[in-house]
Amino acid sequence: MIRSLLELARPRLPRPEHDPASGIAIDDVWASYGDRRVLSGVNLHAKPGSFTAIAGPNGVGKSTLLKLMAGTMKPARGSVRVGGVDIASLPARRRAALVAVVPQDPDLPPATAAVEVVLMGRNPHLGTLSWESAEDLSIALEAMRMTDSERLADRHVDRLSGGERQRVAVALALAQQTPALLLDEPTANLDLAYQPAIMDTLRRQALSGKTVIAAVHDLTLAAQFCDRIALMCDGTVLAEGAPAELITPENIAKAYGARVSVLSHPETGKPIVVSSWR
């Protein structure tokens, strides 16, 4: 049963000091798993108000790069700063006030109502042993409304479909109200209607001033909603730029080894990637 949320919350924790104008800065970052090098000299800067897609074939280090930006992994060399702060140097609670993360396979607590899961996003803003307030519930429900998961509020997450769980996981991240959002394949398990809807929600978060970065496989989808795309290959950034500049048959051939045609969307004029495989 949902805890009583009408009592006054105890004082919130102070937000960590950071420079909101700094966004996310990755400078000459190298990373390895044991003897296997995953990233080599990666540079990437994302400003507040921007929506950046990280694209590239499987195994090039997209998920590892997101872990470094989340501070859950330290680079072997180089620096990763969020809001001007070395994110890996912060304790978990302070990181959670700066960065909200949606992993590739969200591990949501079973036998828990979806709204309770989304309310967990408010934890970084509460003092020790504090209870969520009516304001926190309002923020959680608004996050669920933005992801069209509000009707799932009272359902246990282990009884939801993969797409419904994904939308709840995105709502959880939105409820954290952090300056930065990191998402690993945010449209995974989503159907044709919800893929653009979630990407549009993330675009609106960027327009509100947040720094949004997502690993995205679908280049056409990324081109419709993202400001910039960082195309990765062999553990580094092969090219970075606006979708219209970056998405070319030549760049895709270098990164993926695939033959494609690049067309223009009939309504937006933005790039559409069509496989030329025979």
pLDDT in tens, 123-171: 998 876 678 889 999 999 999 999 999 999 999 999 999 999 999 999 9
Interval 78-115: pLDDT, tens: 999 999 999 999 999 999 999 999 998 898 999 999 99
Work out the mean pLDDT of the chain and round it to a whole number. 92
- Residue 19: per-residue pLDDT: 66
Classified as helix, coil or strand, 177 is coil
Question: What's the CA gap between 159 and 112, in Å, rounded?
Answer: 10
Mean pLDDT value across residues 231-246: 97
Q: Is the pLDDT of residue 13 over 70?
A: no
Q: What is the dihedral of CA 246, 250, 256, 260, to 10 degrees?
A: 100
φ/ψ of 162, rounded to 5, equals -60, -40
The answer to whether the CB of 270 falls within 8 A of the CB of 199 is no
Cα Dmax for the chain: 64
- Residue 21: per-residue pLDDT: 63
- pTM score, whole prediction: 0.91
Over the Cα atoms of the chain, what is R_g? 19
- Residue 6: per-residue pLDDT: 36
pLDDT band (50, 70, 90) for residue 276: confident
Helix, strand, coil % over all residues of the chain, rounded to 5: 35, 25, 40
pLDDT band (50, 70, 90) for residue 270: very high
HSE-CB of 229 using CA atoms within 13 angstroms: 28
pLDDT band (50, 70, 90) for residue 20: low
Question: What's the CA gap between 93 and 123, in Å, rounded?
Answer: 9
| Dihedral sign from CA coordinates of 269, 253, 261, 63 | negative
Domains in the chain, CATH or no CATH each: 24-247 (3.40.50.300)
Q: Per residue in 107-145, is it b (16+ CB within 10 Å) or e — as a string?
A: ebeeeebbbbbbbbbbbbbbeeebebbeebbebbbebbe
pLDDT band (50, 70, 90) for residue 5: very low
User: 155 exposed, middle or buried (CB, 10 Å; 0-12, 13-18, 19+)?
Assistant: middle
- What residue type is 226 in one-letter code? C
The strand pairing partners of 27, in sequence order, are 79
Least confident of 21-25, 81-85, 208-212, 258-262: 21-25
As given in the structure block, the two tokens for residue 42 are 């990666």
